[in-house]
Amino acid sequence: QSALTQPASVSGSPGQSITISCTGTTSDVGNYNLVSWYQQHPGKAPKLIIFRGNDRPSGVSNRFSGSKSGNTASLTISGLQGEDDADYYCSSYAGSGISVFGTGTKVTVL
Amino acid sequence: EMQLVQSGAEVRKTGDSLKISCEAAGYNFNNYWFGWVRQVPGKGLEWMGIIYPGDSDTRYSPSFAGQVTISVDKSVKTVYLQWSSLKASDAAVYYCARHRNLAAVDDAFELWGQGTVVTVSS
């Protein structure tokens, strides 16, 4: 499995909305509604923010939302806040118990 | 509530063997999938593999199959990641993590350990 493709960086001003794309193939993103998204601050473990495409774990802000079209999944962060400044990774199930991460996106809050 | 506590930082030489651990405090250990994720300094996350303690069913990413071994000891609620011969390229932070739902192989990692830093020198 090759890593899913994400933009290296995305930036936005406080209050704006940004969208991060995650492009896979018909073997992973396109074949399953099982994309998850993780947020990682420097020196910290990743944190799950979206699972099964657009579900949020308890306690995660509803400013985070997910979607998918074909082989590309997307994470939208609305009402951007300073604490959203972090790295974001998508992940997709790829069958036979195996998953794959995306290349990661650095989000900068201007 | 379950917590994942990983073993401490390790410094090894190329060619050395190594086994790092992840202890799961809490109940239902046998019925969740646990996995390992690699992060080379300054780089992204890499999904390595998962194991189900109930029957030791293990799945590896093709990128890591044959390079590492994931194992479990149910008696001490601990999962392991081991190398028989380390390479310089194995230097990274290794996270253990647990799937969200009981027995779900196709799930996201909801619970994470603190990470174990592995340094490999020649």
Q: Name the minimum distance, in Å, from the CA of B44 to any CA of chain A.
A: 6
Residue A80 burial (10 A CB sphere; 0-12, 13-18, 19+): buried
Instruction: List chain B residues with CB under 8 Å of A103.
Output: 44
Interface of A with B in 29-68 (CB under 8 A): 32, 34, 36, 38, 40, 45-48, 51-52, 57
Quick one: closest CA in A to B45, which residue? A101
CA angle B104, B4, A37 (to 5 degrees): 55
Quick one: closest CA in A to B61, which residue? A98
How do residues A35-77 score in pLDDT, each as one tens digit?
A: 999 999 999 999 999 999 999 999 999 999 999 999 999 999 9
Tokens representing A48? 């799950």
Instruction: List chain B residues with CB under 8 Å of A89.
Output: 44-45
Rg of chain B (C-alpha set): 14
User: Coil, helix or strand for B74?
Assistant: helix
**Does residue B45 contact residue A104 with C-beta atoms inside 8 Å?**
yes
User: pLDDT tens digits, chain B, 122 residues: what are they?
Assistant: 889 999 999 999 999 999 999 999 887 899 999 999 999 999 999 999 999 999 999 999 999 999 999 999 999 999 999 999 999 999 999 999 999 988 888 999 999 999 999 999 98
pLDDT for B43: 97
